[in-house]
Amino acid sequence: MSKLVLFLMLSVAGISAENGSFINLNNSSGDVTLGNSLFNITFHKNGKAQSVYKNNVNLIDNISKNSQTWYLDWDGGKGYFHPSKYEVIEDSSEKVHFRFIQEASLGNLNIEFHLVVLSNVSGLYQYIKVSNPTNATIGLGEFRTVYRFDHNLMPKVTNIVESGITPNLTGRPTIQDTTWQLADGTYWSKYDFCGYIRETPWFGVYGGGFGGWIISASREYHSGGPLKQDLLVHHDSLMANYFHSGHFGTPGLEAPPGWSKFYGPYLVYINTGSEKQVREGVAKQALIEQARWPYSWLVDKEYPQTRGSVYGEVEGQTKAMVVVYSSIEQEFDLQTLGYLYHEETDVNGRFIINNIRPGSYQIVAYPLAGQASENVARKNISIIAGENQNIGSLFLPEPTNILWSLGETNRKSSEYRYSDEHRSFYWHFVPPANQTFTIGSSRVDKDWYYAQTRTPGTWSIAYNDKFDNKNRTLRVAFAAASKSSVSDPALTAAIDIEVNGHQVGHFAYENDKTIYRDALQSGNFHPEKMTVPARQIVNGQNVISFNLLRGMVMYDAISLASE
Ligand SMILES: *[C@@H]1O[C@H](CO)[C@@H](O)[C@H](O)[C@H]1NC(C)=O
Ligand SMILES: *[C@@H]1O[C@H](CO)[C@@H](O)[C@H](O)[C@H]1NC(C)=O
Ligand SMILES: *[C@@H]1O[C@H](CO)[C@@H](O)[C@H](O)[C@H]1NC(C)=O
Ligand SMILES: *[C@@H]1O[C@H](CO)[C@@H](O)[C@H](O)[C@H]1NC(C)=O
Ligand SMILES: *[C@@H]1O[C@H](CO)[C@@H](O)[C@H](O)[C@H]1NC(C)=O
Ligand SMILES: *[C@@H]1O[C@H](CO)[C@@H](O)[C@H](O)[C@H]1NC(C)=O
Ligand SMILES: *[C@@H]1O[C@H](CO)[C@@H](O)[C@H](O)[C@H]1NC(C)=O
Ligand SMILES: *[C@@H]1O[C@H](CO)[C@@H](O)[C@H](O)[C@H]1NC(C)=O
Ligand SMILES: *[C@@H]1O[C@H](CO)[C@@H](O)[C@H](O)[C@H]1NC(C)=O
Ligand SMILES: *[C@@H]1O[C@H](CO)[C@@H](O)[C@H](O)[C@H]1NC(C)=O
Ligand SMILES: *[C@@H]1O[C@H](CO)[C@@H](O)[C@H](O)[C@H]1NC(C)=O
């Protein structure tokens, strides 16, 4: 037997003998390498990655010298995590566990950034424990982790809904923040690849035989509600995990004294294969991660292993969204401080929500059909570890005597024209400034657009009615309201609503930063209900006008009811 063959055999034997997780901490440089036989990653003591090896290829080669990667930051890169301590918590062949710690100081939260590698998973689990032991409220505009990959190696990004390769942006004019106009007149924006985060169990960067992904087995720790949207992947082979942000209408975090929260764990997963194989592989791994949630390998009293569940039913409008959330001092869709769970009802209005951390919550139901856009049913509940509680029924009554309607309420623009297009800066230029929709002959999917975007401009609804001495109820639910562009100094959207020339409503809304950032379906929700006095209804054609005064509005549902 030649020396070479013997050497190869020993090497192969060496690899399998070494199977299992490992961690090497270099006490003099502060570098830490952790991994298993499937991958390994080296972090510098500043909490940023130096190399990510898979099959002998460094997936972050050629970026880590000039840009940062695999880091935790906040306030859009204005505040970087600066760990002052690090520690190996566990070093066994089944699991290695390491943490970086940034200790609280005046104006700074206590942050522990945990890294875990299991013996047989090709990826790094991360979770972040944050607390405010100071006596002052501490604000963070956004809070996220960011992962860049070698763009030459892995040029593609996907948010599941859509995939793409960054076009050549060199020399292209910037239209607004990270939005460029291309030579063919189309646009490229980092907001093109945003998504509804709670509908996105995985997303990431791929190509060149590799994939790098974030798999979130649970989204319980993210801000906002079921319709929270955020950045997921960018140009330049970047993916980000936003725990909260001011994107798409949600507020930043204002952490009061004594507050703490457990973000994660999520898996940064690395796989290999063709583009199809890596995408199918991550989808499969996401199901495996979901089945393992809550993760039994995570032993921490702030991560309860024994969860509770609730079930019940929604009556009246049975097609509904049910939300369970803990920071009830905040509205559920604007929450930042706690944990949130959601499920849609089944066809009979029944729901069950599993895997809820024990504690105090509010359960909220809102309609996903019908015309009662203003309806919200609530109960305060306690979740008890190991128990499945029946919380009874939540009631969402439907209005009667609906004369006509455009769309049904679901807090989205989903029935209207262009709402089902891919996210792009382009769409908000397309709807007309002025138009009339005629009840009986116009079509909601063709003649009513997802958003009214141009001022001065009036959209009208013409319908036939007769004076019968009865008031009417006009419901107009807005799915979003934004200023006209990122540079618009107005900061609000405003609209007047008239019936036959008589004002029945005037509304102004704070900018939710959605319509000019490619959102086509939703932002902050504003249900409005107006009385139209009987005397203003005429025999024959009546006209309801929506005069856009400032900014842009997106429509959910509009209806007119008689008494
Ligand atoms: C050890 O790792 C190698 C490479 O990933 C794999 O092929 C082999 O099946 C593993 N062996 C065991 C005992 O897990
Ligand atoms: C590094 O430091 C840790 C903690 O002080 C110690 O347990 C470990 O043995 C050191 N490792 C080396 C290789 O010196
Ligand atoms: C540890 O870090 C020091 C300083 O950067 C370096 O000289 C040394 O080679 C490293 N040790 C190992 C085992 O990588
Ligand atoms: C990391 O993986 C690469 C191959 O992918 C290997 O060359 C390197 O030795 C590994 N690092 C450690 C510390 O095991
Ligand atoms: C990084 O750049 C160097 C020099 O251009 C090149 O040799 C190397 O292959 C690149 N690495 C990857 C992973 O593309
Ligand atoms: C990894 O190991 C765990 C614990 O031994 C086991 O439950 C799991 O099925 C293994 N996963 C894979 C992908 O082999
Ligand atoms: C908060 O703590 C700081 C520093 O310990 C102290 O100077 C300040 O008086 C405290 N403020 C309040 C309102 O307790
Ligand atoms: C990108 O566009 C610039 C400006 O048109 C051009 O100079 C450059 O060669 C292009 N780069 C590639 C890789 O095509
Ligand atoms: C839930 O509890 C909060 C705080 O005690 C209270 O303000 C609120 O009215 C309660 N809501 C319901 C629906 O009972
Ligand atoms: C829309 O109507 C308003 C008011 O009648 C008018 O000022 C404006 O020019 C119209 N816009 C277009 C694009 O026709
Ligand atoms: C109709 O609306 C007016 C207010 O616009 C109100 O004063 C009146 O009571 C309403 N009539 C009925 C029958 O509800």
Distance from the CA of 37 to the center of ligand 1, in angstroms?
7
Q: What is the pLDDT of residue 66?
A: 61
384 pocket-lining for ligand 2 (C-beta < 6 Å): no
Point out the ligand nearest to the CA of residue 377: 9
Confidence category of residue 64, pLDDT binned at 50, 70, 90: low
Confidence category of residue 165, pLDDT binned at 50, 70, 90: very high
Confidence category of residue 12, pLDDT binned at 50, 70, 90: very low
Q: What is the pLDDT of residue 236?
A: 84
The protein residue with its alpha carbon nearest to ligand 2, atom 8, reads: 27
Confidence category of residue 76, pLDDT binned at 50, 70, 90: confident
Average pLDDT, integer, range 111-123? 97
468 pocket-lining for ligand 11 (C-beta < 6 Å): no
Render pLDDT for 444-490 as a digit per residue (tens, 0 to 9): 999 999 999 999 999 999 999 999 999 999 999 999 999 999 999 99
Largest Cα separation within the chain, whole Å, is 104
Q: What is the pLDDT of residue 10?
A: 36
28 pocket-lining for ligand 3 (C-beta < 6 Å): yes
pLDDT over 80 at 371, yes or no: yes
Window from 114-128, 156-170, 395-409, 527-541 with minimum mean pLDDT = 156-170
Average pLDDT, integer, range 225-233? 98
All domains of the chain, ordered by start, with CATH? 3-292 (2.70.98.10), 308-396 (2.60.40.1120), 402-562 (2.60.120.260)
Q: What is the pLDDT of residue 78?
A: 76
Strands 138-140 and 253-255: antiparallel
Ligand 9 atom nearest residue 379's Cα? 13
Q: Which residues line ligand 5 (CB under 6 A)?
A: 57-58, 61-62, 150, 152-153
Confidence category of residue 2, pLDDT binned at 50, 70, 90: very low
Are 164 and 306 within 8 A, CB to CB? Answer: no
Strands 526-532 and 472-482: antiparallel
The protein residue with its alpha carbon nearest to ligand 8, atom 6, reads: 170
pLDDT over 90 at 77, yes or no: no
Render pLDDT for 246-262 as a digit per residue (tens, 0 to 9): 999 999 999 999 999 99
Distance from the CA of 382 to the center of ligand 9, in angstroms?
12
Confidence category of residue 168, pLDDT binned at 50, 70, 90: confident
CA angle 33, 210, 295 (to 5 degrees): 60
Q: Which residues line ligand 4 (CB under 6 A)?
A: 24, 33, 40, 53, 55-56
Distance from the CA of 270 to the center of ligand 1, in angstroms?
16
pTM, to two decimals: 0.93
- Sole residue written with tokens 């020993």: 10
**Continuous segment of H or E residues that includes residue 276:** helix 275-292
- Which of 24, 25, 45 has the most ligand 2 atoms within 8 A of CB, as the residue to mutate? 25
Average pLDDT, integer, range 329-350? 98
Point out the ligand nearest to the CA of residue 51: 4
The 8-class DSSP code of residue 494 comes to E
Q: What is the pLDDT of residue 7?
A: 37
Who has greater pLDDT, 108 or 417?
417
Q: What is the pLDDT of residue 62?
A: 81
Average pLDDT, the chain: 94
Who has greater pLDDT, 11 or 136?
136
Q: How many CB atoms lie within 10 A of CB 94?
A: 11
Distance from the CA of 171 to the center of ligand 8, in angstroms?
8
Who has greater pLDDT, 43 or 13?
43
| Strand order from edge to edge, sheet including 49-54 | 22-25, 32-36, 39-43, 49-54, 57-58
Confidence category of residue 6, pLDDT binned at 50, 70, 90: very low
Cα 533 from Cα 205, distance rounded (Å): 57
- Kindly list the distances between the CA atom of residue 549 and the CA atoms of 119, 350, 433, 557, in Å, as whole numbers in the listed order: 60, 42, 12, 20
Point out the ligand nearest to the CA of residue 364: 9
pLDDT over 60 at 15, yes or no: no
Point out the ligand nearest to the CA of residue 30: 3
Q: Please name which of 416, 420, 146, 99 lies closest in space to residue 268, comparing C-alpha atoms.
A: 146
Q: What is the pLDDT of residue 474?
A: 98
Q: What is the pLDDT of residue 65?
A: 64
Are 74 and 144 within 8 A, CB to CB? Answer: yes
- Which of 60, 61, 69, 150 has the most ligand 5 atoms within 8 A of CB, as the residue to mutate? 61
Strands 143-148 and 435-438: unpaired
pLDDT over 70 at 203, yes or no: yes
How large a percentage of the chain has pLDDT more than 90? Answer: 90
pLDDT over 60 at 121, yes or no: yes
Ligand 4 atom nearest residue 33's Cα? 13
Distance from the CA of 154 to the center of ligand 5, in angstroms?
12
378 pocket-lining for ligand 9 (C-beta < 6 Å): yes
Distance from the CA of 380 to the center of ligand 9, in angstroms?
6
Distance from the CA of 329 to the center of ligand 6, in angstroms?
41
Q: What is the pLDDT of residue 72?
A: 94
254 Cβ neighbours under 8 A, 6+ residues apart:
137, 138, 139, 336
- Which of 429, 434, 496, 498 has the most ligand 10 atoms within 8 A of CB, as the residue to mutate? 434
Q: What is the pLDDT of residue 3?
A: 40
Cα 235 from Cα 237, distance rounded (Å): 6
pLDDT over 70 at 130, yes or no: yes
Render pLDDT for 262-304 as a digit per residue (tens, 0 to 9): 999 999 999 999 999 999 999 999 999 999 999 999 999 999 9
